[in-house]
Amino acid sequence: MVAIKHLVSSLFASAAGRTSVLQQLESIRGALTHCDISGDLARLNLAPIHNAITPPQNITPTFVGLAFGVQNYTCTQSNNFTLVGAVAELFDVSCSVNSTAFVTNQVPLFAQWNATEDTSIQEFIKAEHILNPPDILAQHYFVTNPTTGQGVSPKWDFTSSGHPALAGNASAFIVARGKDNIPAPHAATDIAWLQVVNIGGDAGGAVADVVIRSDTVGGQPPASCVFGQSQDISVKYTSKYWFFGGAFGPQ
């Protein structure tokens, strides 16, 4: 697979809008995707936060996605920002878990994404769907909680994935509820690491049973706001998402 730093450098070499992004994407395709990572649990390195989130012991990792996108916030009556959703694109980096670049690939990705001002994450995802490359893993966004019908829950949507067993599969998604979360090592700027469990998608054929978000960069809102005056904001971030269990694996 093309090293993620090369992908990012080519993808965001300029910020000239969607047309430029499309042109650059044409030459950025991973040579390998959908590798078996069931034996690579050790790569889920939680040591910087003392293993406060424990990977599931009875199921193995199926996919790992490198994500970039935005965390969305609104200002509350308490004059602070609260999370109301997120939108992100995930690339399949399962084949690079044993590479040197894998450990820190979220850092240069964030630097380039944060420097891109005139292409939104929605525009980027739309452009990716036109090209439909095999290394797209999923899109991440929020939906109405399917259990209560109130509030929102995080969703990972694999229906447009490049994975041959997932593309076009109406059941290829996860809607989750939180299980554990802990501050990132640099909590002032980076959003929390977390673990969620599947509550939506086909119970007998879900893409994953557990998702862990780690290696976050960015995403934290300002410490305060003014209710009724501060506008809703979107804060850029990158992270890795590890998917455990589920009915789908490398083909």
User: pLDDT tens digit string along 118-131?
Assistant: 789 998 888 878 77
* 210 in a structural domain: yes
* 234 in a structural domain: yes
Expressed as residue numbers, the domain containing 16 is: 4-32+64-244
CA of residue 120 relative to chain centroid, distance: 15
Q: For residue 241, what pLDDT is reported?
A: 94
Task: Label residue 4 by pLDDT band (50, 70, 90).
Answer: very low
Task: Please determine, for residue 115, whether its predicted confidence score (pLDDT) is greater than 60.
Answer: yes
User: pLDDT tens digit string along 59-103?
Assistant: 888 888 999 999 999 999 999 999 999 999 998 888 888 788 888
Task: Please determine, for residue 24, whether its predicted confidence score (pLDDT) is greater than 80.
Answer: no
Q: For residue 49, what pLDDT is reported?
A: 52
Task: Please determine, for residue 46, whether its predicted confidence score (pLDDT) is greater than 60.
Answer: no
* 114 in a structural domain: yes
Q: For residue 105, give the amino acid letter.
A: N
Q: Which of 25-29, 156-160, 203-207, 236-240 is predicted least confidently?
A: 25-29
Task: Label residue 170 by pLDDT band (50, 70, 90).
Answer: confident
Per DSSP, the residues of 92-134 read: E-GGGTTSTGGGGTHHHHHHHHHH--S--HHHHHHHHHHH--T
- DSSP letter at 10 equals H
Q: For residue 14, what pLDDT is reported?
A: 41
Number of domains observed in the structure of the chain:
1
Residue 79 CB-density burial (10 A; 0-12 exposed, 13-18 middle, 19+ buried) = middle
Q: Report, as an integer, the average pLDDT of 42-52.
A: 57
* 226 in a structural domain: yes
Residue with tokens 């989750």: 176
Minimal CA–CA distance to 88: which of 238, 242, 244, 206? 238
* 11 in a structural domain: yes
Which pair of structure tokens corresponds to residue 54? Answer: 């424990």
* 53 in a structural domain: no
Task: Label residue 249 by pLDDT band (50, 70, 90).
Answer: low
